[in-house]
Amino acid sequence: MSLVCVNGSIIEDYKVHISPLCLGTAYGYGLFETLLILRGKPVFFDEHIKRLNDSAEFFNIKVFSKETILEWLMNLINVHKVCNGRARIMLTATDKALNNDKLSSKLFITVSSCVPYAEENYARGARLGFLSFTRNSNSIIIKHKTINYLENIMGQQHARMNNWDEALFLNSEGFIAEGTKSNIFLVVGNKLITPDVESGILPGITRAKIIEIATRERLTVLEKKVNTEELASAEECFICNSLMGIMPVSFIMKSDYGFGGRKFTKRDVVTFLRSKYLHEINNSI
């Protein structure tokens, strides 16, 4: 049993009522954000809620104010006494439209003291592999963090079966897209290369912060179509998301599509950027 927040009310999770007829339950019509909690505060809260509300506008879902969501989140963090952990904010549409044609909604918040990545994970680095099914770069929902997440879950299951830490999607044109729960960067000299939004990716909050930091530190950032051959010339590689921050990649396994595998041992730029990113987090809370 765990306490969760539903539209501001903190109740036991097993008492939460969700109709099987609502759009969120029946069709995955909803959005979510996963946030890191450090020292009892959510990291990059404003950026996460802006993305949530921007996507809600796109999908015509009624939103809640940033101030309201923060109040509800902090109440739940305090009830659970979470110092370091994570939060999940989920906004789901119901089957009713309001007078302004916005779909009515419920907002769910959960928190946990579990931090999934330890320092030994960063020391070892992540092992990646390519999935056999591709990302549709023309999908109208791919740029939004929707609860329609089955494709990602299947990719994560495939990664576990193969002893990978993360699985990568190619898009339908054969270019690198993203991981099931991360964005990817290559390092070539003083350049950072990452798949562009048109490659079929979710533009991550951490991805945006890394681009901002790298630009400030006079590194060149290229958002472009990235093919697997470019992995051969990359000196370093890393993945990122809100919980892991910047994670070095140690190995990308060979695939059935001609990629022969690649080991990464150099981490100079990755270590530098991770240090700057951690400093950015500390300054934000």
What CATH number is attached to the domain comprising 7? 3.30.470.10
- DSSP strand pairing (30-38 vs 41-42): antiparallel
- pLDDT (0 to 100) of residue 259: 73
**C-alpha–C-alpha distance, residues 241 and 238, integer Å:** 11
Q: Are residues 22 and 86 in the same domain?
A: yes
Q: Are residues 73 and 210 in the same domain?
A: no
- pLDDT (0 to 100) of residue 31: 98
- pLDDT (0 to 100) of residue 98: 58
Q: Which of residues 92, 112, 132 is at a domain's end?
A: 112
What count of Cα atoms within 13 Å lies in the side-chain half-sphere of residue 129? Answer: 18
The enclosing H or E element of 93 equals: strand 85-97
Q: Is the dihedral of CA 18, 1, 146, 127 positive or negative?
A: negative
The enclosing H or E element of 70 equals: helix 66-80
End-to-end CA distance of the chain: 30
- pLDDT (0 to 100) of residue 50: 97
Task: Give the 3-state secondary structure of residue 143.
Answer: coil
Q: Are residues 105 and 143 in the same domain?
A: no
Q: Are residues 250 and 155 in the same domain?
A: yes
Cα–Cα separations (whole angstroms), residue 118 to 32, 133, 243, 277: 24, 30, 11, 17
Q: Are residues 25 and 156 in the same domain?
A: no
Q: Are residues 191 and 79 in the same domain?
A: no
Q: Are residues 106 and 132 in the same domain?
A: no
Rg (CA), the chain: 19
Q: Are residues 74 and 206 in the same domain?
A: no
Q: Amino acid identity of 88?
A: R
Q: Which of residues 79, 112, 145 is at a domain's end?
A: 112
Q: Are residues 96 and 189 in the same domain?
A: no
**C-alpha–C-alpha distance, residues 52 and 185, integer Å:** 24
- pLDDT (0 to 100) of residue 100: 64
Q: Which of residues 62, 86, 112 is at a domain's end?
A: 112
Task: Give the 3-state secondary structure of residue 169.
Answer: strand
Q: Are residues 131 and 105 in the same domain?
A: no
From first to last of its 285 residues, the chain has per-residue pLDDT tens of 699 999 999 999 999 988 888 899 899 999 999 999 999 999 999 999 999 999 999 999 999 999 999 999 999 999 999 999 999 999 999 876 656 678 989 999 999 998 778 999 999 999 999 999 999 999 999 999 999 999 999 999 999 999 999 999 999 999 999 999 999 999 999 999 999 999 999 999 999 999 999 999 999 999 999 999 999 899 999 999 999 999 999 999 987 776 778 899 999 999 999 999 999 998 888
The total number of structural domains in the chain stands at 2
Which residue reads 């700057």 in tokens?
A: 276
- pLDDT (0 to 100) of residue 174: 93
Q: Are residues 208 and 245 in the same domain?
A: yes
CATH number, domain of 249, equals 3.20.10.10
Q: Which domain holds residue 222?
A: 119-284
Q: Are residues 79 and 103 in the same domain?
A: yes
